[in-house]
Structure 1
Amino acid sequence: MSQTSAAPAPAREQWTGQVGFILSAIGSAVGLGNIWRFPGVAYENGGGAFLIPYLVALLTAGIPILFLDYAIGHRFRGSAPTAFRRLGGRSGRWLESLGWFQVAIAFVIGLYYTAVIAWALSFFVFSFDLRWGDDATAFFVEDYLQVSEPGFSLQFVPSVLIPLVLVWVAVIIVLALGVAKGLQRVNVIALPVLMIAFLVLVVRALFLDGAGEGLTALFTPNWAALADPNVWIAAYSQIFFSLSIAFGIMVTYASYRKRRSNLTTPGLVVAFANSSFEILAGIGVFATLGFFAHQQNVAVSELEGISGPILSFVTFPAIVSEMPGGTLFGLLFFGALTLAGFTSLISVLQVVSAAVQEKFGLTPRAAAVLLGGVSAVLSVIGFGTTTGLITLDTVDHYANNIGIVLSAVLVTILVTWVFRRGDELRFHLNALSTFRVGRVWVLLVGVIGPLVLGYMLIQRIVALLIGGYEGYPPLYVAVFGWGTVLFLLAAAVLMAVLPWRRSPDDYVPWPAYEPAAAKGVGR
């Protein structure tokens, strides 16, 4: 690959300390999926029994691959494309394309994730006067989103467009301020506020009539479900998507850590904090659903919309309208949803910003304006129109269930089997961290991870090819579903062949890997 300049890179940005990194990593992991996805997934896959495969998935795939991301980002000190190019060495510079594949995933997710935050921000304002009235479904689908049939539309929805633009302005400002003054400062402020608000919400929910029935529905174990392979796949899927792994976020975040930085212990804190928040969200959501079922005089199992956007923007508004002190409950819920989404969003877009900065020699401010401007336009065109909800659903499914899982399969196989870097990264982790990983970590990353994730990927591809997606027209799915996958692959190849403004190979890795001194470490 040609280099247009060998100018030395500027000093790399860094977190101010370990607390700032941990809070930022937790802020990235705790997002919309914790609140609207985990409770429904747990309920539909064995209730209390689901916690067993969930914990197994956390220990055998979630934490090991999280450590892998940390090790790659910290050892090779760069954004995803830079780090993977350096990992590949002289003969494996093509591995940069894997990094750009992850960047492309983050770019696509940022486009539609912003739209959901805009919805949450709107409903936070609507909570002051319970504007959705007596029919929350009609308000969300018809009045607010003005949903039309699947297709491509340029009929913009003003009620979505205004908050969407506001969110993008906020994103550009945070990214332009850089790692310490932007991302870290937002997370240090937003994460404690989010936790306090959600704790208040959960405590209030526990004292609602029918809350006990809701919690019973969530946690009553269905042991027979453990014999269903799909339940285990659901557990791995939830852990995987929730921890923000395998699409560049934790690689990028770890690259901003100082040389002598403990990596594994903060990783455990992040992983268990994320899972704790998911369980807390499950308690709050199902206590509230129990109240709703009690008011409707039906069983919790008879309720519809217990996960996803329908839970957040239809079911919860309907509940808020019926409960005493509903306005405060609505403000807390949609405020927490907005904060959780925003902290995750800036981490997703920092993946793209960091890669663009390093590839083209841009400052954080220039990268933020360029990235934010282009993304905002695409986001408005794609998700600020009357087809935004359906397009979002389709793109999200293909980017997550095919894009991210494919990325994880490739990373685990290439790093451990093709380039044989497993032991080197293990020694790197152990040379810096108080919690040491043994050879079993390489086994989990190089064998268990690819097998489980590969099975998930093949199963999902076959199901989509045979049955389509959600009954949407085949042409629509081909354009917005499979088209998303093709875009990810094309972007990875195109960006990898473009010349670098500054050489990514002119660096010295952290001198943490010393085979002779580290012999036997972590066994």
Structure 2
Amino acid sequence: MAAVSRESWGGRTAFIVAAVSSAVGLGNIWRFPGVAYENGGGAFLLPYLLAFITAGVPILYLDYAVGHRHRAAPPLAFKRLDKRLEPLGWWQVAVCYVIAIYYAVVVAWALAFTVLAVTQAWGDDAAGYFFGDFLQAEDAGFSFSLVGAVLWPLLLVWVVTIAVMCLGIRRGLENVNRITLPLLVLLFGAIVGYSLTLDGAVDGLEAFFTPSWSALGDPTVWIAAYGHIFFSFSIAFGIMLTYSSYSKRRADLTGSGTVVAFGNCSFEILAGIGVFATLGFLAVQQSTTIDGLEEISGVGLAFVTFPTLLSQMPGGTVIGVLFFLSLVCAGFTSLLSILQVISSAVQDKTGWSPAKAGAIVGVAAAVPSIGLFATTTGINALDVMDAFINNIGVVTSAVLTLVLICWVVRATPRLAEHLNAGGSVRVGALWQTMVTFVTPFLLGAVLVTGAWSYVSDGYGEYPRWYLLVVGWGVIGLVAVFALAMSFRRYHRADAETFVPEDAEVLAEEVARARGRAGDDQGRSGA
């Protein structure tokens, strides 16, 4: 079989737009404001900034280096780095699969509520409508009773998603990201601008930004900051690694990564301003404080608190459509990036075309997504699966990635060379110290804390048997899948024969290319 020609982004801008589109997801809008508020308000920005510098950016660079140097999705990229690491790559693929099947449902909810916002169908009881009329939610268990209000938008989400996946990187993801990212910024920018004019907006911003300095003495606040940065950047579970593998040979990885990191964090701050300005208005309308509101983060914020707010807000219909359409844009591009990890890994393993891999992967994810989460018990499965796969599955992936690459394989020096060969931001001893010692220790603390909490205290009010099946059971299946797939041979002709480019040769090419660009610019100026 001939070597498979790997797709590539149209250029550096396309790569940056795709990476930012992936990083800016649902969590930026509904998770960050709540996490910040609950962990010291304005004071949280200090550990958040430190986590950004010492964990977010270093791991992002590491993902970029592994993916770009070895030109493959996680399993094959790690195998090319060291044959012992292939199971880690399949662990990341399995984590992405689990996330994709429930993430699509939230996008479907947002799509449905975009339409429902026109008439504000939830009336005066947003919570009753969402959990009762819309989801028809039952207690924890397993039901095969499909809910039409969720089923039809979910089917539409999957049809469009599969169609985009089949088009590949250039015609599919790149074109979608070019539309959805500017649209998302425009929509949410309009929401923020309007929210700042509402009564109580200043009170909301004070609640968000006023620092509680005593919180900085609480270790859990620092753990929360590192945990959030880690989730927010879409790092260490295959997405950024896969996206960088489609970049041009002479890509400026560190420069692009810096733009992506700051772009993602800027949107989070923007989201925090918009969310808390509107929550301040709701608090005034209900004659209470921000503390008195029931839901200020997560699903409850988006589908209970905000609909309640919209019913009392002048112009609530328009703002509601803009808000839920923003969630659709943010969620859809993130869903595509998650599925691309799986599709790319399948292409590497089988030699299939992007269209074939995209169609098969899409259908394989859509069927359980509909069967599990478009049902009357779907909200319970989603809640538990999301908690366990993120706090256990994803963090485990991050810790293993850092420990295996930095301590076992000791690949950081050559990865640093690769980053520096074409990067406008150079990495050195500080970066290697971060990814080798500081970040593994901190993420290890996040993992141990989260795992011990689930073991000792459970999660929510779910029965132990349910957590064992839907939570720990899913983690177990991820591990089994990772090991099983590592024993299957690759059908790509270049899977075993690929040799990473020499950093010195790449650096010389980059220097010559930049020299030619400078000469051309000089002649143009003359």
TM more than 0.5: yes
Q: Write the distance in 2 (CA, Å) between the matches of 1:377 and 1:417.
A: 40
**Is 2:419 the counterpart of 1:425?**
no
Tell me the equivalent position of 1:101: 91
Equivalent runs, 1:445-460 vs 2, <5 Å: 445-460=435-450
Contact 2:200–2:281 (8 Å) recurs in 1: yes
Deviations 1:466-494 (A, max 9, x none): 11111201100000000111011011011
Give how far 1:179 is off.
Answer: 0.5
1:290–1:430 CA distance, 2 compared to 1 (3 A): same
1:506–1:135 CA distance, 2 compared to 1 (3 A): same
Contact 2:108–2:154 (8 Å) recurs in 1: yes
Tell me the equivalent position of 2:255: 265
Q: Write the distance in 1 (CA, Å) between the matches of 2:412 and 2:347.
A: 28
Tell me the equivalent position of 1:505: 496
Give how far 1:511 is off.
Answer: 2.4
Give how far 1:123 is off.
Answer: 0.2
Tell me the equivalent position of 2:8: 14
Q: Write the distance in 1 (CA, Å) between the matches of 2:154 and 2:280.
A: 33
**Is 2:29 the counterpart of 1:29?**
no
Q: What SS does the aligned partner of 2:304 have?
A: helix
Tell me the equivalent position of 1:57: 51
Tell me the equivalent position of 1:140: 130
Contact 1:252–1:351 (8 Å) recurs in 2: yes
Q: Write the distance in 2 (CA, Å) between the matches of 1:455 and 1:40.
A: 21
Q: Write the distance in 2 (CA, Å) between the matches of 1:489 and 1:375.
A: 18
Give how far 1:428 is off.
Answer: 0.5
Q: What SS does the aligned partner of 1:178 have?
A: helix
Give how far 1:516 is off.
Answer: 12
1:496–1:456 CA distance, 2 compared to 1 (3 A): same
Equivalent runs, 1:342-491 vs 2, <5 Å: 342-491=332-481
Q: Which amino acid aligns with 2:14?
A: G
Tell me the equivalent position of 2:74: 80
Q: Write the distance in 2 (CA, Å) between the matches of 1:110 and 1:364.
A: 18
Q: Write the distance in 2 (CA, Å) between the matches of 1:435 and 1:178.
A: 30
Tell me the equivalent position of 2:519: none
Tell me the equivalent position of 2:311: 321
Contact 2:421–2:507 (8 Å) recurs in 1: no
Q: What SS does the aligned partner of 2:124 have?
A: coil
Q: Write the distance in 2 (CA, Å) between the matches of 1:489 and 1:8.
A: 32
Q: Write the distance in 1 (CA, Å) between the matches of 2:210 and 2:222.
A: 18
TM-score (norm 1): 0.96
Q: Write the distance in 1 (CA, Å) between the matches of 2:29 and 2:296.
A: 11
1:182–1:157 CA distance, 2 compared to 1 (3 A): same
Deviations 1:175-223 (A, max 9, x none): 1100111111100111000000100000000001110100011110000
Give how far 1:510 is off.
Answer: 2.1
Q: Which amino acid aligns with 1:86?
A: R
Percent identity between the aligned chains? 53
Deviations 1:109-159 (A, max 9, x none): 000000000000000000111111111000000000000010111011011
1:40 to 24, 28, 34: 34
**4+ runs of 1 displaced by more than 6 Å?**
514-517
Give how far 1:416 is off.
Answer: 1.0
1:217 to 183, 188, 207: 207
Deviations 1:233-271 (A, max 9, x none): 000011000000001001100000111110001101100
**Is 2:150 the counterpart of 1:160?**
yes
Q: Write the distance in 2 (CA, Å) between the matches of 1:94 and 1:26.
A: 31
**Is 2:327 the counterpart of 1:337?**
yes
Q: Write the distance in 2 (CA, Å) between the matches of 1:513 and 1:306.
A: 51
Contact 2:4–2:351 (8 Å) recurs in 1: no
Q: Which amino acid aligns with 1:81?
A: P
1:34–1:103 CA distance, 2 compared to 1 (3 A): same
Give how far 1:515 is off.
Answer: 12
Q: What SS does the aligned partner of 2:144 have?
A: coil
Contact 1:424–1:513 (8 Å) recurs in 2: no
Deviations 1:64-105 (A, max 9, x none): 0000000000001101001000000xxxx1311110000000
Q: Write the distance in 1 (CA, Å) between the matches of 2:142 and 2:497.
A: 45
1:188 to 171, 178, 181: 178
Tell me the equivalent position of 2:192: 202
Deviations 1:400-458 (A, max 9, x none): 00011111111111111111110000011001111101111111001011100111111
Q: Write the distance in 1 (CA, Å) between the matches of 2:474 and 2:173.
A: 28
Q: Write the distance in 1 (CA, Å) between the matches of 2:473 and 2:281.
A: 42
Q: What SS does the aligned partner of 1:174 have?
A: helix
Q: Write the distance in 2 (CA, Å) between the matches of 1:42 and 1:313.
A: 20
Contact 2:143–2:375 (8 Å) recurs in 1: yes
Stretch of structure 1 that moved more, 306-315 or 358-367: 358-367
Q: Write the distance in 1 (CA, Å) between the matches of 2:210 and 2:261.
A: 25
Q: Write the distance in 1 (CA, Å) between the matches of 2:402 and 2:336.
A: 26
Q: What SS does the aligned partner of 1:497 have?
A: coil
Give how far 1:8 is off.
Answer: 2.7
TM-score (norm 2): 0.95
Contact 1:306–1:315 (8 Å) recurs in 2: yes
Q: Write the distance in 1 (CA, Å) between the matches of 2:364 and 2:409.
A: 35
Q: Write the distance in 1 (CA, Å) between the matches of 2:147 and 2:245.
A: 40
Q: What SS does the aligned partner of 1:78 have?
A: coil
Q: What SS does the aligned partner of 2:321 have?
A: helix
Q: What SS does the aligned partner of 2:486 have?
A: helix
Q: Write the distance in 2 (CA, Å) between the matches of 1:179 and 1:378.
A: 25
Question: How many residues are aligned here?
Answer: 508
Q: Write the distance in 2 (CA, Å) between the matches of 1:443 and 1:174.
A: 40
Cα RMSD (Å) of the superposition? 1.3
Q: What SS does the aligned partner of 1:123 have?
A: helix
Q: Which amino acid aligns with 2:180?
A: A
Contact 2:135–2:150 (8 Å) recurs in 1: yes
Q: What SS does the aligned partner of 2:441 have?
A: helix
> Which structure 1 residue ranges, 5 or more long, are not aligned?
1-6, 518-523
Contact 1:94–1:496 (8 Å) recurs in 2: no
